[in-house]
Amino acid sequence: MTLMHKHTLKTAQLIAAGVAAMLALSGCSAGGSIQPEAGAKQVKGGTVSYGHQQEPACVFGGWIEQAYLSYQVLDNLVSLDDNHTIVPWLAETWQASDDQLTWTFTLKEGVSFTDGTPVNAEAIAYNFDYWAAGGNSTAAVWLGGYYESAEALDELTVQVNLAKPYPLFAENLTQAYFGIQSKQALETRTEEENCASPIGSGAFTVGEWNRGENIELLRNDDYTSPPANARHDGAAYVEKVDWKFISDATTRVSALRAGEADAIYDVPAIEWAGIGEQGYDQLKYVTPGRPQQISFNTARGIFTDENLRKAFVYSLDRESIVDTIGKGVIPYEGNGAVSRTTPGYSEKAADAYSFDLEKANQLLDAAGWTERDDDGYRVKDGKRLDVLFPYSGGTIINADGASILQGVQQQAKAAGFNVDLIPIPPSAAASGKYSGVDGYDISVGYWTSVNAGIQYINWRQNLPESPNNWNSAFYNDPQLEDIIVRANSAADLDEQNALYAEAQEYIADRALSVGLYDRLSTLAVNPHLKDVWQESAQGGPVFHDAYFVE
Amino acid sequence: MTGVLERTVAPVQRRRRVRVGFLASAVTIGVFLAAAVTPHVLAPSDPFTMDFTRALQSPSLAHWFGTDESGRDLFSRVIYGARESLAIGVGAAGLGVLVALVLGSIAALAGRILAGIVNRVIEVLFAFPTLLLALLLVSILGSSPLTLVIAVGLGSAPGYARMVRGQILSSKNSGYVEAARALGHARFTIFRRHILPNALRPLIAIFTMGVGQSIVWASGMAFIGLGVAPPSPEWGALLDAGRAYITQASWLIVLPGFVIVVLALAATTLGKHIQSSLEKGDA
Amino acid sequence: MTRTLSSRPADAATAARRPILSPRVRRIVEKLVAAAVVLWGAATAAFLAQIALPGDRATTILNVRSGQTQLRTPEELASINAEYGLQNPILVQYLDYVGGLLRGDLGVSYQQHRPVWGIISEQVGATLTLTAVTLVLAWVLMIFWVTLTAGRGTKIRALGSGVDTVTAGLPPYWLGILLLLVFALGLGWFPVIGGTGVDGIVLPALTLAIPLAGFMGQATRTEFERSLTAPFIITARMRGMSDLNIRLRHVLRHAILPAVTLSGWAIGATISGAVIVESLFTRPGIGSVLITAVDSQDLPVVTGVVVLVAATYVVANLLVDLAYTVIDPRMRNS
Amino acid sequence: MMTILDSSVLPGIGQGPAARPVRLSVNNLNVGFSHHGTVRPVVRNVSFNLEEGQCVAIVGESGSGKSVTARTLVGLTGQHAVVDAGGIRLGDDDLTALSPKRWRSIRGRRIGFILQDALVSLDPLRPVGKEIEEALTLHGWGDRASRKRKVLDLLASVGVPAPRNRARQRPDELSGGLRQRALIASAIALDPEIVIADEPTTALDVTVQAQVLLLLEDMKRRGTSILLISHDLSVVAHLADQILVMSGGEVVEQGTAHSILTDPQHPYTQGLINAVPSRDTRGSRLAPAREVAPVHTAAHANDDHAGFDGPVLEATGLVKHFTAPDGSRTAAVNDVSFSLGRGETLGIVGESGSGKSTTARIALALENADAGTVRLLGQDWSAIPETRRRRLRKQISVVYQDPLSSFDPRWNTERILLDSLPAGAFATAAQRRERVLALLAQVGLPDSVLHRFPLQLSGGQRQRVAIARALAPSPSIVVLDEAVSALDVSIQAQILDLLVDLQRQFGLSYLFISHDLGVISHMSDRVLVMKDGFVVESGTADQIFTAPAHPYTKELLGALPTLDENHSVSVSPAASVPPATEGSAP
């Protein structure tokens, strides 16, 4: 035995050493002076090679990966700036009626889509209907229950009619799900064409799409409609963005180091520090909205009992797990409803629970889960304390996330929970196999949003007449819904935030959902490429202002 | 004087070397089996307990294979992983051989029509991408060792099936079968006494080699996300988990992979030895 | 008493009753039919397997389009069900599908909204190139190594076959990672992102070629050493032929048949093999297409790929048969 | 005894025509194979001279070291060989110290080499023309065009008709005779002064063998020196001037062909000569007498059919067709009839493809005839279903040419024999075992072989076990299909003797199939001569061998080499220059 160990070990270490040496080599080659010397001047044009992670089937759609992509091609009515204020984009001005039910947007003049047709009120109105009809599934969800109709008052004025007051309406429109497309294109072109290369008025147009490899974004030379928070007017500086799809995180980082990519998306925590030391610019955006959180199935199974939910939460030292795996890059998030960057975020809700194994055990004993089996799992009248915990690996939960969940599993074990951690293959996940009330005891996931209004989507009751499958806790509580609806409709910002906070604390008190970590959108950029920034609605990269220096 | 003679092929006298290789591989397999049966004896620590203070330590005397992102001792995980990995390997190879035996013998012995059908089935199995088979199975059964066993087993079955068919046919047309017929033995007796055993013997070798290959395959599946669910220390899962750290902690993937290679090598060598000794006919 | 027969002309002895179809034609027809059966079988298997997938297909389509994993309301699903006829009974769907196949129509992707033919023809190039390069590399490596080490002194032979065994047992992805670490990340000789560039294909091809070479080496070596002892080889030596000449001119041809078979198998198995290197070296290709399609239950694409793979397999086999008769003409009539 | 190694007094000097120049002289050659340090000698003290236009033959059984000797002379003994010689001289060149390069320049150019059956000795994948041309190319003979021409000339010179077509065909497409000629052509392409022929006629049909021997004789007449290696004295008898008899690596006797054949000194040589079966040896023993095993007639009780006195096996009008790969159907057996009486031996002789083995398989009901019937002990045999046949099967058993393949490799002798005992014939295990031991005794094998596996037995022992197995069910008839063809002549002699003894003891009837007229004439009471599926002639052995009626029979007999070195084989004009049709594959 030992003999063989030594052997394996030696050879293994040899290999490891060899590899290490190679890496050292690479370190030097990439680690040198990548910084441009001071006062390096801007060069015209050029192609940005950008390494993104996942490749959507279509450019425009309800998936955040699509939002990031379509943002380059489509303009929205309004944009969100760093101070979280709504600024003009295609719409110069906008206002809501006093009853908050009708919104009018006045458009910039002389803007036209890249197919030559004008960006006019008619087109805007058409887009609203298009989204609501499912043209963008996520936009449809945002509009659901509020949107009634949109009409062109004149060439440049469009009026949107809502069913309920919706102060956050404009704010929500800053998400790329609400990118404006050419009416003509939507009407006349095939679904395939609109999928592969939507026609907007954006800074870039879709060039060639080599599926599985990259998608070319070509500069729109006649670009006249950058958002107010853009850093310059007119067409983008760079001629082209080579939007590569590199699913493997390490490969992305290596590509950046090897100079094969000027910028990459989603830097794994383990690489973050090193990248920084090597002098790459690092952008980090904590997406507002629902953080990576776990919500309990309150309709079926053990977690219908509030005390067991609490026991589970107390058994976790979420902060230490996240800090270790997250290497201090991924921020711990205690709040289960919204992330720290969301307006109306409640610290109180975030701090509601901290690691307390004592309490966890007390609660469990009290609940009658007194015995333990040989593996240390709690048992009650012959039934083991099993927790069904499926998660969609790869897509919603990345590698770091998976490690964190394993941490959760380990810590919950100490309290006697047997957490059955099941990575769901994408097809099964998408099929909703694990999304039903029998699908899980705990579900994990995030939902980016520009404001706490997300709670309306996640916590509105799931009723036969108005189903809401996004209520992942299966928690039907008119009281909670009422708080959220009032918040959504509150005209005054402070009042609104207060109500949102109340909702978060309501959720925390009942341990319906607790946070794990904030979802990040990170970028690493070669310093020779300047002025790449992350838009504030969802943290996608913006290349309109980007330029190279040498 | 030999020197002046042009060298030609030596009479085959590999025996002693084979013995050496055989011994080495047998010992290796033995060690892995031991690990599978009594991991707690061999593993320095528990494969699941996390120690965040010890995350991502490179190989050292304390941690021969280093530690992973959660501070788990990789060597212990490899040891504990042996059980599941070997089980998968054995199971898959077993299933493959079993299916192959059924298909192969029908294809070789049945009437023209039935044999024809079965041959087509084998062809289709061949033509059907193993990857897809695995993907679908995982979607249906979820990712578990069993899924891997079925996927890899069925994937390797057609290849074995052809071998079995060949074996049975050659045995069916062999002199000793004719001799048995001449002695007036009944068809089934002949099948039971001669054809089947003679077809089965090479399967022992095929199976042994198959175990190694299956483990390699299975871990490959894990690598494209079809593996056993973490935190299981199954080797494929280890590789998959290590992938995220190849630049910062290459040992997480290099060492488990190396272990797989060693096992595969041992299994193949063992299988080859069995094969050659079978060909030599010493029962 | 002696009884004799006047010997008859030989042709009388051979009562030549020729069958209707000439055997060559018959063999070809049989092959074609078999090929068709394989294609049909594979396609059907793929279709049924996907019908057996858990969950509702319409829901999946919708969720994949929005990156969600929720259950959906009938209202949401209605349009999709209508669009793709998912509410029809399975049999109808199957017949539609097979009908399409016969018309050479593989259908339209649920996710990309474009004909499956387009998707495949766009991606197959990369995969086939990879396969081709892999095969060439594997053959070069294998022939070089076997000719060098087979049938030499005991030690060299042990080394030779040892290397075969080790390489044959290398997990491709693991090998790939080592290659990537050392030659792309470390030495920077090759790009990290393989892409479809020329320099980008070396590492992926090597990753697949090395184990394949090992496999073929194992098979070839045995035959090689057997042939080396064959009488006709001795005859050649007696003619004064040099050892290297003999190995290359005579022995090799006798030894490579098993390797040819393996190559055929390798072509068929590319898809499964390629996907690993595709994801590792971020190459486009059928493998990735297949995975994405299965993940999104994009049935037309999946079945389309299966048909493609099956076709490749069939063609590969025909090529192998052809190669056989070229290498060993005796096989023409058998 | 024959170990005077001063080449000057070597036999051959002063004999035959005036002394001719010595082309090759081998002086005190020793060869051994080293295996893990220890050297195992395989050739000891071999010395001889080969003169221009002379033929020296080395005769011996397998393992006698004759082939090793031959290969040493071209430096292809193998890397584990240790060669030590007083001297090997080719003309003026010393062959004991040559670089590989020099060796290659000698092989093919100065020493030609002919191996047995061209089917395996020529590259089966290449046209014979290419093979012959290769010999020329290797030694840089002429240019491409002239080489092509030379190839055709060579083929013509060895009596290959239509060389242009033949050159394009592969060995398997040529008849045995033609391909062997092609092989010879490739060996003499560069007109070497010496040709070494190692078993050049083994595995060839007797008529083909005759053609090859004539060819060699012709070469010899034209001045080529020939070193002929063979296990068969009768083959070398008329061609050799000198004969070396080798056994166990030693030259046991050496001298002129005449002295060796007419007045052998060494008992081994005598044994070898006596062992050759022929018409004259009928009834006499071939091998030095060995103690005959106690007879177990009781065990061989066969009462159930003892009363029956008709022909034990009777075949009438057998026809069997086979479908060739190209779809055509050929009759392998055509209207064959025969009958076999109790205690009688019926020999079926014919060359490969004559249908004799198929006839045997039909007789055994292992093959179903397309037409005709076989009756066994007066009962339906071929007509009835297998299930009903089984009851009768114990009456007729078989011994094959290659016993190894007819044994299940997993079974040892004991299991093989136990398995062959008729079911239910013996009540207890003890009885069964006793019977097995009895069978071993009958075939003259020690009990020690019981636990050996086929691979661990010698060729002779295997054939004895095969015979024991055939005897186990106490059959009335034993079919012997080329049963002794694969054996060395001395072993063959023992087995033939054994068969004769057993026949006497048990009144067995033999259906004896062989291509070897010698063996047939030694064994048979009556003979069937087959060609192309037909019985061309049948009658008593004496009639067939003394007064053959059919031309083909005559041709066979003429082609049969005998120990009488004056009688050189004759080849019917039909065979010497084969008909054009013979070349093309069926």
What's residue C21's pLDDT? Answer: 64
What's residue C329's pLDDT? Answer: 86
Q: How far apart are CA B237 and CA B221, in angstroms?
A: 9
Reported as a pLDDT band with limits 50, 70 and 90, residue D568 is low
CA angle D544, D545, D548 (to 5 degrees): 50
Range name among B78-92, C168-182, D12-26, D32-46 with the lowest pLDDT average: D12-26
Say if B186 is an interface residue toward chain D (CB within 8 Å). yes
What's residue A12's pLDDT? Answer: 46
**Residue in D35, D97, D405 nearest the CB of B4:** D97
DSSP strand pairing (D242-247 vs D55-60): parallel
Amino acid identity at A505: E
C8 to chain B, minimum CA–CA distance in Å? 33
Within 459-478 of D, beta carbons closer than 8 Å to B belong to 469, 473
**The pLDDT of residue C1 is above 80:** no
Q: How far apart are CA D189 and CA D225, in angstroms?
A: 15
B129–C305: do the CB atoms touch at under 8 Å? Answer: yes
A423–B229: do the CB atoms touch at under 8 Å? Answer: yes
C66–A134: do the CB atoms touch at under 8 Å? Answer: no
Amino acid identity at D567: H
C187–A58: do the CB atoms touch at under 8 Å? Answer: no
What's residue D530's pLDDT? Answer: 92
Which residues from D are below 8 Å from B175, CB to CB?
400, 402, 404-407
**The pLDDT of residue D234 is above 50:** yes
**The pLDDT of residue C138 is above 60:** yes
Q: Is D112 helix (H, G, I), strand (E, B) or coil?
A: strand
Strand partners, D125: none
B216 to chain C, minimum CA–CA distance in Å? 6
Q: Where are the domains of chain D?
A: 22-274, 303-411+472-549
Which residues from D are below 8 Å from B1, CB to CB?
82-84, 96
For residue C98, which phi and psi values (nearest 5 degrees)?
-60, -45
What's residue D569's pLDDT? Answer: 62
**The pLDDT of residue B3 is above 60:** no
Is the bond preceding C115 in cis, omega lying within 30 degrees of 0? no
Question: Taking residues C117-144, what's their average pLDDT?
Answer: 92
Reported as a pLDDT band with limits 50, 70 and 90, residue D15 is very low
Reported as a pLDDT band with limits 50, 70 and 90, residue D19 is low
Question: Taking residues D172-193, what's their average pLDDT?
Answer: 88
Say if D321 is an interface residue toward chain C (CB within 8 Å). yes
Question: How much of chain B exceeds pLDDT 70, in percent?
Answer: 92
What's residue C3's pLDDT? Answer: 54
For residue C77, which phi and psi values (nearest 5 degrees)?
-80, -25
Our answer on whether A and D touch (3+ beta-carbon pairs < 8 Å) is: no
Q: How many CB atoms lie within 10 A of CB C103?
A: 8
For residue C249, give both structure tokens.
């001119």
Question: Taking residues B92-106, what's their average pLDDT?
Answer: 94
Architecture of domain B2-51+59-282: Orthogonal Bundle (1.10)
Amino acid identity at D504: R
For residue D67, give both structure tokens.
């082939």
What's residue B14's pLDDT? Answer: 43
Question: Taking residues C141-153, what's their average pLDDT?
Answer: 92
**The pLDDT of residue B98 is above 90:** yes
Q: What is the rounded average pLDDT for all residues in chain B?
A: 85
B182–D35: do the CB atoms touch at under 8 Å? Answer: no
Architecture of domain C124-331: Orthogonal Bundle (1.10)
How does C142-157 read in b/e, with b if 16+ C-beta sit within 10 Å? bbebbbebbbbeeeeb
What's residue B78's pLDDT? Answer: 94
* Cα B262 from chain centroid (whole Å): 12
What's residue A103's pLDDT? Answer: 96
For residue D477, which phi and psi values (nearest 5 degrees)?
-125, 140
Instruction: State the best of C38, C147, C283, C307 to mutate against chain B, taking most chain B CBs within 10 Å.
Output: C38
B8–D79: do the CB atoms touch at under 8 Å? Answer: yes
Q: How far apart are CA B210 and CA B101, in angstroms?
A: 14
How does A70-89 read in b/e, with b if 16+ C-beta sit within 10 Å? bbbbbbbbbbbbeebebbbb
Range name among A323-337, B25-39, D273-287 with the lowest pLDDT average: D273-287
**The pLDDT of residue C16 is above 70:** no
C241–D134: do the CB atoms touch at under 8 Å? Answer: yes
D473–B280: do the CB atoms touch at under 8 Å? Answer: no
Q: How many CB atoms lie within 10 A of CB D383?
A: 13
pLDDT tens digits along C224-276: 998 988 889 988 988 888 889 999 989 999 999 989 988 988 887 777 778 88
Question: Taking residues D114-130, what's their average pLDDT?
Answer: 87
pLDDT tens digits along D183-205: 999 998 988 999 999 988 887 88
Q: What is the rounded average pLDDT for all residues in chain D?
A: 84
Range name among A266-275, C2-11, C309-318, D127-136 with the lowest pLDDT average: C2-11
Question: Taking residues B125-135, what's their average pLDDT?
Answer: 86
**The pLDDT of residue D441 is above 60:** yes
Which residues from C are below 8 Å from A425, CB to CB?
295
Question: Taking residues C25-33, what's their average pLDDT?
Answer: 84
What's residue B6's pLDDT? Answer: 33
Question: Model's pTM, two decimal places?
Answer: 0.85
**Helix (H) or strand (E) run with residue A309 in it:** helix A306-314
What's residue C6's pLDDT? Answer: 46
Say if B216 is an interface residue toward chain C (CB within 8 Å). yes
Instruction: State the best of D76, D101, D121, D554 to mutate against chain C, taking most chain C CBs within 10 Å.
Output: D121
Q: How far apart are CA B236 and CA B86, in angstroms?
A: 11
The subunits that touch chain A, with at least 3 C-beta pairs less than 8 Å apart, are B, C
What's residue D374's pLDDT? Answer: 92
Question: Taking residues B258-266, what's their average pLDDT?
Answer: 93
With residues binned 3-state (H G I as helix, E B as strand, rest as coil), the percentages for chain B, rounded to 5, are 75, 0, 25
Q: How far apart are CA A228 and CA D550, in angstroms?
A: 116
**Residue in C151, C168, C174 nearest the CB of B239:** C174
Q: Give Cβ neighbours of residue A37 (< 8 Å, ≥ 6 apart).
A: none
Say if D453 is an interface residue toward chain B (CB within 8 Å). yes
Is pLDDT larger for residue B110 or for residue D582? B110
Is pLDDT larger for residue C279 or for residue B36? B36
Which residues from C are below 8 Å from D120, CB to CB?
230-232
D549–C2: do the CB atoms touch at under 8 Å? Answer: yes
Amino acid identity at C69: T
CATH class of D22-274: alpha beta
Q: How far apart are CA A531 and CA A535, in angstroms?
A: 12
A22–C79: do the CB atoms touch at under 8 Å? Answer: no
Task: Please answer whether residues D536 and C7 qualify as being in contact, where contact means their C-beta atoms are separated by less than 8 angstroms.
Answer: yes
Question: Taking residues B250-275, what's their average pLDDT?
Answer: 90
C201 to chain B, minimum CA–CA distance in Å? 20
Name the residue among D69, D136, D179, D227 with its Cα closest to residue C240: D136
Looking up tokens 């006249």, which residue turns up?
A: A224
Task: Please answer whether residues D488 and D62 qualify as being in contact, where contact means their C-beta atoms are separated by less than 8 angstroms.
Answer: yes
Reported as a pLDDT band with limits 50, 70 and 90, residue D354 is confident
Question: How much of chain C exceeds pLDDT 70, in percent?
Answer: 93
For residue A515, give both structure tokens.
């946070």
C53 to chain B, minimum CA–CA distance in Å? 6
* Cα D341 from chain centroid (whole Å): 29
C280 to chain A, minimum CA–CA distance in Å? 7
D330–C16: do the CB atoms touch at under 8 Å? Answer: yes
Q: How far apart are CA C205 and CA C133, in angstroms?
A: 6
Q: What is the rounded average pLDDT for all residues in chain C?
A: 85
Residues with pLDDT less than 50, chain A: 1-12, 22-32
For residue A308, give both structure tokens.
């067991």
B118 to chain C, minimum CA–CA distance in Å? 12
**The pLDDT of residue D171 is above 50:** yes
Q: Give Cβ neighbours of residue A265 (< 8 Å, ≥ 6 apart).
A: A50, A51, A52, A53, A68, A252, A521, A522, A523, A541
Q: What is the dihedral of CA B40, B45, B50, B51, to 10 degrees?
A: 170
Is pLDDT larger for residue B111 or for residue A383? A383
What is the maximum alpha-carbon separation in chain B? 77
Q: How many CB atoms lie within 10 A of CB C13?
A: 17
What's residue D147's pLDDT? Answer: 93
* Cα A158 from chain centroid (whole Å): 30
CATH superfamily of the D303-411+472-549 domain: P-loop containing nucleotide triphosphate hydrolases (3.40.50.300)
Residue B11 CB-density burial (10 A; 0-12 exposed, 13-18 middle, 19+ buried) = exposed
Sheet order of strands, A42-43 included: A42-43, A547-549, A529-530
Q: Is C186 helix (H, G, I), strand (E, B) or coil?
A: helix
D406–B176: do the CB atoms touch at under 8 Å? Answer: yes
**Helix (H) or strand (E) run with residue A444 in it:** strand A442-448
Q: How far apart are CA D99 and CA B3, in angstroms?
A: 9
CATH 1.10.3720.10 domain residues, chain C: 124-331
Q: What is the dihedral of CA D312, D315, D321, D322, to 10 degrees?
A: 20
What is the maximum alpha-carbon separation in chain D? 79
Looking up tokens 């709504």, which residue turns up?
A: A86
Which chain B residue's Cα is nearest to D364?
B182
